[in-house]
Structure 1
Amino acid sequence: MNKILFITLLFLFINISLAKRRSYLTNTDASIAFTEYGAIKGLVRDTHRVFYGIPFAQPPEGRLRWEVPIDPIPWTNIKETTTQKKQCAQRCNLGPGVCSSIGTSEDCLYLDVFTPKDANPDSNLPVIVYCPGGAFTVGTGAVPLYDGTKFAQSNVILVNINYRLGTFGFLRTDLIPGNYGFLDQVKALEWVNKNIAAFGGNKNKVTLWGESAGAFSVATHLTSTYSRQYFHAAISFSSPLTIGLKDKATARGFSEKFIDNIGCKRDDLSCLRGKSMEEVLDAQETVRPGLTDSPLDAFTIWSPVIDEVIIPMQPLVAAKLGKAYDVPTIIGNVKDEAIQFVYAFSQSIIKPLEYRFLVSIVFPLQQSNILPLYPAAPIGQDCRPILSELMNDYLFRCQDRYYLNRFVDHHNSPVYHYNYVHVKSTEHAFEPCDGKSCHGNELSLFFNTYEKMNENLTPDERELAEDLNNYIVNFATNHNPNTGLPVPVNWPAVTKTRNSTLIIDVDPVVRDVTTNDARCDALDLTYYRNQVRP
């Protein structure tokens, strides 16, 4: 037999055999899925499947520390994806259920996929990609709070992602361009685009959802052409856009302080890569902005950087100019967002004189307009409550209104707004938040993970959690939170002529809470750190 013909027939035989094996595994073993890099084996539960710790990039350590994420190396045997992976390098302070119990590592570019039990490559199900928050320095998607079981039970695929944090993700020098954490998010979205069909997902119906720094990331993706092709709807929970992304000069200043503290020369990348993870984290923690410089930068010392290439502009500017991606969007915030930040900033009372000084630092030109609306407490009393109101409005509620209205002005897609005011019946781990609706309080209800978080909710709260999850499922499925699963009240979209907000409590209602607001009118005149000055 001709040698070339023999090799060709042998090649065809091998491929037919592999195809038959692939078909057999696909059709008979729900725990197996085929990614473009190789087969993986997850867990099959009574109502859903879950694949933990799927690599979407090579481990960014050693020579790959401070490099753009690179595709995983393909594997030949079936890879076990039955346990979650360690969180990215950090000193997590978010508490049980939100910090990983497994550990911390630079080898952390993995994602978890939750699917319905009977999902298959022909299912064509909607997909949610969740980006966790944590001020760009802590947090992970691989924790009980973000368990996707409830979504999978409602025929939605949930993907929880991780990305490099702190200096590992956002250091910027003349040799290190930065934005690696943001590019990790892009890489995860690219992985979903290329692979989610194997899990039963529709790559053309992907909703990108984030809270806090995760929501800030979502708003940033809405400005970037790098990720735009990979998602088709957006959900932004509690995004502190007032803080702003870093400009190159500010980012370089923080980075130089870090490098000096870690004991390397600023042009010695080998020295930087030679430091251990713990040495990097130690040096990272020593970098602090001065109180009289930019105190708001302390919220996110390390964050994405506007480089005019990957990230072209501030999200608030993109909304103002009509340059944000036009997709169906949910935007909202929580009633008492800032309490935990203010009380963590000052563990003792803030006196009226100290309060006025802080206001003068944050609002040097507008304090005469701000103080009458946010008056100091009487002498001898604590000003942290009023400072919390001011920071809540400035960082979250009022910039949310500004962003929302500019977004709607330039959008054809529907935009929905909410304000979460519910106070949980369970005790809050942070005492100042007892009896309040603090930052992140809503997540265990939206995910329906309150039992995993050891929260013993009332029957009314459990019903609320079901309703909130249904709103998100409906939005991911139909780009309309009202269509599909039952919800308690119709949630109308905001339009150019109608402001409407879903007020979330055990008895949700819809009201216009954004049109007439003297406090937000005054804060609009600060131009949110001059990001949107005329």
Structure 2
Amino acid sequence: MKWWMVMLAASVAGCASTPKPSTPSEQVRVSGGVVQGSVADGVLSFKGIPFAAPPVGDLRWRPPQPVQEWSGVRQATAFGHDCMQVPFAGDAAPLGTPPAEDCLTLNVWRAADAPADGKLPVMVWIYGGGFVNGGSSPSVYDGSRFAQQGVVLVSFNYRLGRLGFFAHPALTAEAGGAPTGNFGYMDQLAALEWVKHNIAAFGGDPDNVTIFGESAGGGSVHTLLASPKAQGLFHKAIIMSGGGRGSLLGGSKLSEDTPGGPRSAESIGVEFAKSVGIHQTGPEALAALRALPVERIGDLSMMNMGVPTYSGPMLDGQIVVEWPDAAYRAGRWAKVPVMVGATSADLGFGFARTKDEVFAPFPDQAAARAAYDPTGNADVRTLVALTAMDRTMIEPARYTARLVAAQGLPAYHYRFSYVADSMRDEWKTGAPHATEIPYVFDTVEARYGAEATELDRKVGREANAYFAHFAKTGEPSGQGLPQWPRYEAGTDLILDFSASGEPVAQPDPWKARLDATEAAANAAAASR
């Protein structure tokens, strides 16, 4: 982890060219007042637009409140602060602004020559970072390429860590039956409500909105698909390395300890309060917690004497009523077209020390060994990595695609296997977690700089085109791209953004592995 560091003053994309002088067409009225954008390279962008009141002081740990109106024209040419956090060291998407508690802003990109009433498709990006890191300012998230594809791209910030996901008995009492705890998810809902009510002013179609996110952002898309509070706010969804079985991160209930499982989020919140010297349980506890310096809350000390003091997202009974896979199985979800996938060397955690421990969770150990270690020569570390990523990301993506397809909705399953030319000696096992993002946004130069090759750029153009076409039509194929077949369990066809740089539609070559992992997941669920 990297502690406080000097942040870039502005994103690479924002500095790429000098904006031309403003014209009246670059002013838009939104909730709160008039904002002034700027044009660069044929793209009109607006940055740092408030979509809610600053969640500071007495508004800390409250649902996002209506944006405060301003007079005159507000300049929207620089990103607002990313939300409070301790940035990761070596993050592939480094923040472009210093983190702060006052952070509820969003950004919009559209083609400068698009008609103001063009009813363009809208894509809304939700960043990842384990619900403790991330923001909308990184240059790899620049929306210009999507804008050039005829899409209005929106990105926004949501509260993180204990500021975003925190419960306490006094907070629950204060809420009086209103949602509490998952404040980061409340921010996501508020941003989508802002899009619904304001995006037409930018030429976007509020009836054609696609949400997409990676890692914690992909997990957030799962949550929004299943949340009764999000219904009607979007019309298509893309889940990138977002899991799909149970809770990706977190897992606590708001007020109830789970026997043999996580303590309640309230219990964890009380533990944190005690760790900072606050032992009261009533309104005086909230006053003391809200008076804490933000650095005392937004640090990375997630434990106190070995006891967790951060819950992550929780089952709150209103926004998160059940885990998404349960909602999918029961048909209690948004029922929209879904694109879902993961990278070929994705994230997973395992702690087995021997091969026997690796294969112990599989009901048919012989089949699992044949799928993962057919020669018997694989080393334990390799097997731990493969089974962990399949369990955490790869198989849950397929599981989601199968549930969607089984209910008659369009599902498109992908795997991202391409590795940047400059990283092939280092990333020999495949594409690591989050490395598809610069290709989806077609911002490979922002990620790899002068080391970006023409093949890297080609993959970026193609990935960006697939995602944009899905946002436009609900079907990703188009613009002369190789056909991406609709997913069906019987054919098990995926689109692989292959290591060669060519998109390849094929039956999933990892089917035997994922079948074994699916059997293990079903056996574990049946035993609970």
Pairwise TM-score range, normalised by the shorter structure? 0.7 to 0.9
Relative to structure 1, the CA distance from residue 351 to residue 197 in structure 2 (aligned partners, 3 Å threshold; closer, same or farther) is closer
Contact kept? 1:100, 1:142, Cα under 8 Å: yes
One of 312, 318, 321 as aligned partner of 1:303: 312
How much does 1:383 deviate?
Answer: 3.0
Gaps of 5+ in 2: 1-21, 172-179
Relative to structure 1, the CA distance from residue 278 to residue 93 in structure 2 (aligned partners, 3 Å threshold; closer, same or farther) is same
TM-score, normalising length: structure 1: 0.83
**What secondary structure does 2:66 align onto?**
coil
Alignment correspondent of 2:174: none
Relative to structure 1, the CA distance from residue 266 to residue 237 in structure 2 (aligned partners, 3 Å threshold; closer, same or farther) is farther
Alignment correspondent of 2:277: 263
- 1:56 maps onto 2:56 in alignment: no
Contact kept? 2:163, 2:298, Cα under 8 Å: no
Q: Show CA shifts across 1:122-165 (max 9, x none).
A: 11111000000011110111110100110111111100111001
How much does 1:259 deviate?
Answer: 2.3
Alignment of 1:51-450 (within 5 A): 51-93=46-88, 95=90, 98-176=93-171, 177-242=180-245, 244=247, 246-248=251-253, 249=257, 250=262, 251-265=265-279, 267=281, 268-282=285-299, 284-286=301-303, 302-338=311-347, 342=349, 352-353=353-354, 363=361, 383-410=380-407, 412-427=408-423, 433=427, 436-450=430-444
Contact kept? 1:42, 1:49, Cα under 8 Å: yes
How much does 1:460 deviate?
Answer: 2.3
Alignment correspondent of 2:14: none
Q: Residue 269 of structure 1 aligns to which amino acid in structure 2? A: L
**What secondary structure does 1:234 align onto?**
strand
Q: Residue 299 of structure 2 aligns to which amino acid in structure 1? A: D
How much does 1:433 deviate?
Answer: 3.5
Relative to structure 1, the CA distance from residue 252 to residue 518 in structure 2 (aligned partners, 3 Å threshold; closer, same or farther) is farther
How much does 1:281 deviate?
Answer: 2.6
Q: Residue 128 of structure 2 aligns to which amino acid in structure 1? A: G
Contact kept? 1:262, 1:283, Cα under 8 Å: no
Distance (whole Å) between structure 2 residues aligned to residue 448 and residue 503 of structure 1: 17
TM-score, normalising length: structure 2: 0.84
Q: Residue 513 of structure 2 aligns to which amino acid in structure 1? A: R
Alignment correspondent of 1:3: none
Q: Residue 160 of structure 2 aligns to which amino acid in structure 1? A: L
Distance (whole Å) between structure 2 residues aligned to residue 304 and residue 94 of structure 1: 23
Relative to structure 1, the CA distance from residue 495 to residue 368 in structure 2 (aligned partners, 3 Å threshold; closer, same or farther) is closer
Alignment correspondent of 2:471: 476
Contact kept? 1:376, 1:386, Cα under 8 Å: no
Alignment correspondent of 1:454: 448
Alignment correspondent of 2:12: none
Distance (whole Å) between structure 2 residues aligned to residue 447 and residue 163 of structure 1: 20
Contact kept? 1:56, 1:191, Cα under 8 Å: yes
Q: Residue 412 of structure 2 aligns to which amino acid in structure 1? A: Y
How much does 1:100 deviate?
Answer: 1.4
Distance (whole Å) between structure 1 residues aligned to residue 490 and residue 368 of structure 2: 29
Distance (whole Å) between structure 2 residues aligned to residue 313 and residue 528 of structure 1: 18
How much does 1:453 deviate?
Answer: 1.7
How much does 1:382 deviate?
Answer: 6.2
Q: Show CA shifts across 1:290-327 (max 9, x none).
A: 8xxxxxxx9x9643212222112111111222222111
Q: Residue 73 of structure 1 aligns to which amino acid in structure 2? A: Q
Contact kept? 2:95, 2:137, Cα under 8 Å: yes
Distance (whole Å) between structure 1 residues aligned to residue 334 and residue 327 of structure 2: 9
Contact kept? 1:53, 1:112, Cα under 8 Å: yes
Distance (whole Å) between structure 2 residues aligned to residue 284 and residue 61 of structure 1: 21
Contact kept? 1:30, 1:117, Cα under 8 Å: no
Alignment correspondent of 2:486: 493
Deviates more, 1:67-76 or 1:261-270: 261-270
Relative to structure 1, the CA distance from residue 28 to residue 271 in structure 2 (aligned partners, 3 Å threshold; closer, same or farther) is closer
One of 496, 502, 509 as aligned partner of 1:503: 496
Deviates more, 1:27-36 or 1:363-372: 363-372
How much does 1:498 deviate?
Answer: 3.5
Relative to structure 1, the CA distance from residue 130 to residue 517 in structure 2 (aligned partners, 3 Å threshold; closer, same or farther) is same
Contact kept? 2:60, 2:290, Cα under 8 Å: yes
Q: Residue 295 of structure 2 aligns to which amino acid in structure 1? A: E
Contact kept? 1:163, 1:184, Cα under 8 Å: yes
Relative to structure 1, the CA distance from residue 208 to residue 288 in structure 2 (aligned partners, 3 Å threshold; closer, same or farther) is farther
How much does 1:329 deviate?
Answer: 1.1
Distance (whole Å) between structure 2 residues aligned to residue 365 and residue 266 of structure 1: 48
Q: Residue 401 of structure 1 aligns to which amino acid in structure 2? A: R
How much does 1:269 deviate?
Answer: 1.1
Q: Show CA shifts across 1:345-391 (max 9, x none).
A: 9xxxx8845x766876xx49998986776569999x96322211011
Gaps of 5+ in 1: 1-26, 291-297
How much does 1:182 deviate?
Answer: 0.3
Deviates more, 1:229-238 or 1:304-313: 304-313
Contact kept? 2:162, 2:310, Cα under 8 Å: no
Distance (whole Å) between structure 2 residues aligned to residue 351 and residue 530 of structure 1: 17
Task: Flag the structure with larger Rg.
Answer: 1
Relative to structure 1, the CA distance from residue 442 to residue 171 in structure 2 (aligned partners, 3 Å threshold; closer, same or farther) is same
Contact kept? 1:167, 1:284, Cα under 8 Å: no
How much does 1:102 deviate?
Answer: 2.0
**What secondary structure does 1:204 align onto?**
strand
Relative to structure 1, the CA distance from residue 108 to residue 320 in structure 2 (aligned partners, 3 Å threshold; closer, same or farther) is same
Alignment correspondent of 1:526: 520
**What secondary structure does 2:191 align onto?**
helix
How much does 1:408 deviate?
Answer: 1.2
Alignment correspondent of 1:22: none
